[in-house]
């Protein structure tokens, strides 16, 4: 039971005032910032009602309405808001002059200092730390912003929109001013301001209609050389959005600022994106192939928000997935189109299964459209983002690509410049495809259950073969385990399927088809060309629905699909199933040597066909299931045993394919390319093979890994580190020291060293983590550094999960300290304890004591909400 008051969707009431225009003036001084806001306010109703403006940690200096100074009895100031008791019943001008102190703000919300630079983070409710305002997404205004500061301390002054004026102050030549104007209405969470010593890297983009857009990236001195990839990524995204969705950028300039101290990955503020520096500053020497693709994707994501999030925003925070789920879907599609659809799908599914499915199963499980929350910051989750994207993907599959884009067009034309709801979006898609909902072939209300219900549906699949008529009968049963209801919930579950002949092999005997499971139980009859034996069924191809499933496919069926399925996801998924089975058998001391031998043979066969044709896919097939997936296989989780048995399994595979791996690794190593994206498949495969060979005890490979730390490709360097990581060896220490010496002056790269040191096995135990936290290069105010050390420590399985409980207690103590300066990061990291009830008794007891320790501390509302859910 939550002890804090929650905000409920059912209580939503529209704000009683329109604020069509806001003029903001920022006077940046050495010890404070004086903010003056001028708002044009229009009552929506004739009846006068109190005007409530949210505000926190603001010192009110003056307030006036229509140029008349208000008396103290006409308004009320609390620690959370400003209330004007009897505002005018007609349109009026409200001026508020106030003062804030960003120099002592460690929360990384509102206006704060980062490496001498003033910057903002207003989503979700940070604007109320800057000035008094409703600070809710359904209040949209056009903003004009004037910034004034000492030109030597803050030579760069940025805000949203287009620059209208800049120059020195007439009465003080040491100070300058810049005026920015955003012509499009936006909610306050999209406001942004940056002031500081920054260097500019410029480029240009020409739209399909011939408009010239200035591309500006602002970075700290010395980082200019790391911006080329970001600029290229942005221009690719702008081009893709025009070509795919017909959406052109609408301002004269597009600005990105790289910030070291930032809670999120990036923020889509209109025309002024603020990025975590690790997602901007990169090239193939400082970032891996995966990191470069991630940067490309995130830059695209924030750009795509210009239309799906900015021009059309969400009515309230319960609709958060309206903008985030849709935009994740768009950035996933962008990456698929630029690189590989099949491989991107596998990447996304693997992430979903290891993070979102685990979230769905735990105490912080919530619906894509939740009904209530205490702190909205706690709902920036994989459910909102990645599961939300899966729902959009299902809609595209159900209504067809052409109709989907027609619906998107209707949505944008209908709701441009407004704050919309999830239902507005769904209705637009249905209207685009079918004109009326009554014409829709599936029940829209059942599809909306995906938004309203928490939990991961599970589908049970059983087959029977009618050899006489060559018909495969397939029965499907759906079930969702949800804490929200005990009733049978029917979902719309699209299932892509195909069939293979056991005799004919890799060529499917049935084209890919779509079956829609829209009832708790439903049957499918598949008429096939004459077959003597039952065909092999390939289901949920392309991961057509975000569900778990259990089928009566045999081990031999999975081996067949692993070797023959032409769908990348289904082939990979078959291998993942087999690996999970083999590791699970070993955990129960029931190793199936026959299956293991067959799997090793299947890998050798795959190597012959894929090492040249698609090395990246081969590497993907060789990757073990994620740790969270393995944990989900057991009612009582023994994390240390799972970790050890999964390593034993890798040793088995490495030794079983030792010579083939050695030969291939040598060929790859001597012919490796350095520049992304060329050669990324070969680099990925080399790193994967190294990870097997080091565990198999190959001393030559260990030596190669140490020598590769200073390789010109960061992908190779980190692959070498990763291959040595499970070994508490001389080579591991040597490689780690070499990496540190190479990169100790680059904070972005050094975070990966902190994560490596925190997560690798060591004999010194928690002392190593303490030393990292007190390291002169560690920055407690930088979320990246915190996540590197504490997040890395949580992945150090044997240390974090030590049976004496000391790992848990240490982590709890550090979270309590962190919560005092950065509640958002603390509340997200405390979710590591979410699965405490699923562990074996020794771990469960230790985790419980640590959670209670946090709960008894004086913690923030953000962290309190999560802890109470975990303990529930």
- Asked if residue 754 lies in contact with residue 769, where contact means CB atoms within 8 angstroms, the answer is no
Residue 673: its pLDDT value, please?
Answer: 75
Is 302 an active-site residue?
Answer: yes
Residue 487: its pLDDT value, please?
Answer: 62
CB burial of residue 210 (10 Å; 0-12, 13-18, 19+): exposed
Reported confidence tier of residue 2, pLDDT bands at 50, 70, 90 = low
Higher model confidence: residue 150 or residue 4?
150
What is the rounded average pLDDT of the residues 518-526?
Answer: 98
DSSP letters of 177-214?
A: EEEEEEEEEE-GGG--EEEE--EEEEEEEE-TT--EEE
Work out whether strand 212-219 and strand 199-206 pair parallel, antiparallel, or are unpaired.
Answer: antiparallel
What is the rounded average pLDDT of the residues 672-679?
Answer: 85
Reported confidence tier of residue 715, pLDDT bands at 50, 70, 90 = very high
pTM of the model as a whole: 0.97
Element (H, E) at 714: helix 714-724
Instruction: Please report where in the chains the tokens 């399909």 appear, as a residue.
Output: 208
Task: Tell me the C-alpha distance between 387 and 590, whole Å.
Answer: 35
Residue 837: its pLDDT value, please?
Answer: 97
Instruction: Please report where in the chains the tokens 């999975």 appear, as a residue.
Output: 558
> Could you report the per-residue pLDDT of 678-708, keeping only the tens digit for each?
999 999 999 999 999 999 999 999 999 999 9
For all residues of the chain together, what is the average pLDDT? 96
Reported confidence tier of residue 580, pLDDT bands at 50, 70, 90 = very high
Taking alpha carbons only, the member of 688, 681, 685 closest to residue 653 is: 688
> Could you report the per-residue pLDDT of 451-479, keeping only the tens digit for each?
999 999 999 999 999 999 999 999 999 99
Reported confidence tier of residue 534, pLDDT bands at 50, 70, 90 = very high
> Could you report the per-residue pLDDT of 46-65, keeping only the tens digit for each?
887 899 999 999 999 999 99
Element (H, E) at 367: none
> Could you report the per-residue pLDDT of 87-114, keeping only the tens digit for each?
999 999 999 999 999 999 999 999 999 9
Q: Which of 109, 148, 220, 302 is catalytic?
A: 302
Instruction: Please report where in the chains the tokens 């009326």 appear, as a residue.
Output: 436
- Asked whether the predicted pLDDT for residue 268 surpasses 80, the reply is yes
What is the rounded average pLDDT of the residues 549-569?
Answer: 97
> Could you report the per-residue pLDDT of 354-363, keeping only the tens digit for each?
999 999 999 9
Task: Tell me the C-alpha distance between 108 and 88, whole Å.
Answer: 36
Residue 406 three-state SS:
helix
- Asked whether the predicted pLDDT for residue 142 surpasses 80, the reply is yes
- The two tokens of residue 122 are 């207003």
Taking alpha carbons only, the member of 666, 686, 687, 683 closest to residue 675 is: 683
- Asked whether the predicted pLDDT for residue 483 surpasses 70, the reply is no
> Could you report the per-residue pLDDT of 8-50, keeping only the tens digit for each?
999 999 999 999 999 999 999 999 999 999 999 999 998 878 9
- Asked whether the predicted pLDDT for residue 711 surpasses 70, the reply is yes
> In b/e form, how buried is each residue of 325-356, taking b as 16+ CB within 10 angstroms?
bbbbbbbbbbbbebbbebbbbbbbbbebbbbb
Taking alpha carbons only, the member of 369, 145, 426, 153 closest to residue 269 is: 145
Reported confidence tier of residue 191, pLDDT bands at 50, 70, 90 = very high
Element (H, E) at 353: none
Taking alpha carbons only, the member of 795, 805, 826 closest to residue 631 is: 795
Task: Say how many C-beta atoms besides its own lie within 10 A of residue 735's C-beta.
Answer: 24
Task: Tell me the C-alpha distance between 565 and 569, whole Å.
Answer: 9
Residue 532: its pLDDT value, please?
Answer: 85
- The answer to which of 525-534, 542-551, 558-567, 639-648 has the lowest mean pLDDT is 525-534
Q: How is residue 637 annotated by DSSP?
A: B
Higher model confidence: residue 31 or residue 529?
31
Residues forming a β-bridge with 729: none
Residue 47: its pLDDT value, please?
Answer: 81
């Amino acid at each position: 039971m939550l002890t804090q008051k929650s905000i409920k969707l059912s209580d939503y009431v529209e704000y009683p005032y329109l604020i069509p225009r806001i003029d903001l003036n920022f006077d940046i001084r050495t010890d404070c910032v004086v903010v003056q806001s001028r708002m044009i306010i229009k009552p929506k109703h004739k009846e006068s009602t109190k005007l409530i403006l949210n505000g926190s940690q603001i010192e009110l200096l003056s307030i006036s309405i229509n140029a008349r100074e208000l008396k103290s009895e006409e308004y009320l100031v609390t620690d959370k808001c400003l209330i004007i008791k009897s505002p005018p019943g007609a349109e009026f001008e409200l001026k508020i002059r106030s003062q804030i102190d960003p120099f002592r703000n460690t929360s990384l919300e509102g206006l704060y200092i980062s490496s001498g630079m003033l910057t903002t983070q207003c989503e979700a409710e940070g604007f109320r730390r800057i000035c008094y305002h409703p600070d809710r997404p359904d209040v949209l205004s056009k903003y004009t912003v004037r910034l004034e500061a000492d030109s030597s301390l803050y030579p760069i002054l940025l805000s949203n929109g287009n620059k209208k004026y800049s120059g020195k102050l007439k009465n003080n030549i040491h100070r300058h001013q810049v005026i920015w104007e955003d012509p499009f209405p936006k909610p306050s969470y999209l406001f942004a301001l940056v002031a500081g010593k920054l260097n500019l890297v410029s480029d240009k983009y020409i739209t399909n209609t011939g408009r010239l857009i200035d591309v500006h990236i602002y970075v700290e001195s010395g980082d200019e050389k790391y911006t080329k990839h970001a600029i290229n990524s942005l221009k690719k995204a702008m081009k893709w959005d025009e070509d795919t969705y017909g959406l052109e950028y609408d301002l004269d300039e597009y600005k990105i600022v790289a910030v070291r101290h930032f809670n999120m990955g990036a923020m889509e503020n209109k025309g002024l994106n603020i990025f975590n520096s690790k997602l901007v500053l990169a090239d193939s020497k400082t970032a891996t192939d995966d990191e470069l693709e991630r940067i490309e994707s995130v830059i695209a994501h924030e750009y795509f928000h210009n239309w799906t999030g900015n021009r059309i925003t969400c009515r309230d925070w319960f609709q958060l997935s309206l903008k985030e789920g849709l935009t994740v879907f768009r950035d996933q599609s962008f990456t698929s189109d630029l690189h590989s659809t099949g491989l991107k799908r596998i990447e996304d599914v693997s992430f979903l299964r290891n993070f979102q499915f685990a979230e769905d199963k735990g105490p912080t499980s919530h619906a894509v459209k939740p009904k209530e929350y205490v702190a909205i910051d706690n709902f920036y989750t994989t459910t909102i983002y990645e599961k939300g994207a899966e729902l959009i993907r299902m809609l595209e599959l159900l209504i067809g690509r052409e109709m989907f884009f027609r619906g998107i067009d209707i949505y944008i034309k209908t709701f441009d410049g407004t704050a919309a709801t999830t239902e507005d979006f769904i209705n637009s898609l249905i209207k685009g495809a079918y004109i009326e909902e009554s014409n829709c072939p599936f029940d829209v209300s059942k599809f909306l259950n995906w938004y309203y219900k928490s939990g991961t549906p599970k589908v049970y699949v059983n087959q029977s073969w009618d050899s006489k008529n060559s018909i495969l009968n397939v029965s499907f049963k759906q079930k969702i385990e949800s804490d929200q209801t005990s009733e049978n919930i029917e979902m719309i579950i699209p299932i892509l399927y195909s069939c293979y002949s056991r005799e004919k092999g890799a060529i499917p005997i049935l084209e890919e088809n779509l079956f829609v499971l829209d009832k708790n139980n439903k049957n499918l009859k598949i008429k096939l060309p004459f077959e003597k034996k039952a065909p092999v069924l390939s289901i949920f191809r392309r991961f057509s629905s975000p569900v778990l499933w259990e089928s009566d496919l045999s081990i031999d069926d999975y081996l067949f699909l692993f070797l023959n399925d032409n769908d990348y996801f289904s082939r990979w998924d078959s291998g993942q199933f087999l690996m999970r089975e083999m590791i699970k058998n070993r955990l129960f001391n029931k190793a199936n040597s026959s299956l293991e031998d067959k799997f090793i043979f299947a890998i050798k066969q795959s190597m012959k066909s894929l090492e040249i044709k698609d090395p990246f896919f081969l590497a993907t097939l060789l990757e073990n299931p994620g740790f969270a997936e393995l944990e989900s296989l057991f009612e009582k989780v023994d994390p240390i045993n799972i970790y050890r048995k999964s390593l034993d399994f890798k040793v088995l595979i490495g030794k079983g394919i030792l010579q083939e791996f050695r030969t291939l690794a040598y060929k790859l190593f001597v012919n490796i390319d350095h520049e992304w994206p060329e050669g990324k498949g070969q680099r990925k495969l080399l790193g994967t093979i190294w990870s097997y060979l080091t565990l198999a005890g190959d001393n030559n490979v260990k030596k190669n890994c140490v020598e590769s730390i200073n390789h010109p490709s960061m992908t190779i360097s980190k692959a070498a580190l990763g291959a040595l990581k499970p070994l508490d060896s001389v080579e591991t220490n040597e490689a780690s020291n070499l990496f540190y010496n190479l990169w100790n002056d680059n904070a972005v790269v050094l975070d990966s060293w902190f994560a490596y040191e925190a997560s690798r096995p060591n004999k010194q135990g928690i002392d190593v983590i303490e030393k990292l936290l007190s390291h002169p290069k560690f920055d407690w105010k930088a979320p990246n550094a915190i996540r590197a050390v504490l997040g890395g420590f949580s992945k150090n399985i044997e240390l974090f999960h030590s049976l004496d409980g000391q790992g848990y207690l240490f982590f709890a103590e550090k979270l309590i300290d962190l919560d005092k300066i950065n509640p958002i990061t603390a509340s997200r990291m405390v979710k590591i304890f979410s699965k405490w009830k699923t562990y074996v008794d020794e771990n469960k007891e230790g985790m419980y004591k640590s959670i209670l320790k946090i709960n008894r501390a004086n913690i923030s509302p953000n962290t309190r909400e999560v802890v109470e859910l975990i303990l529930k």
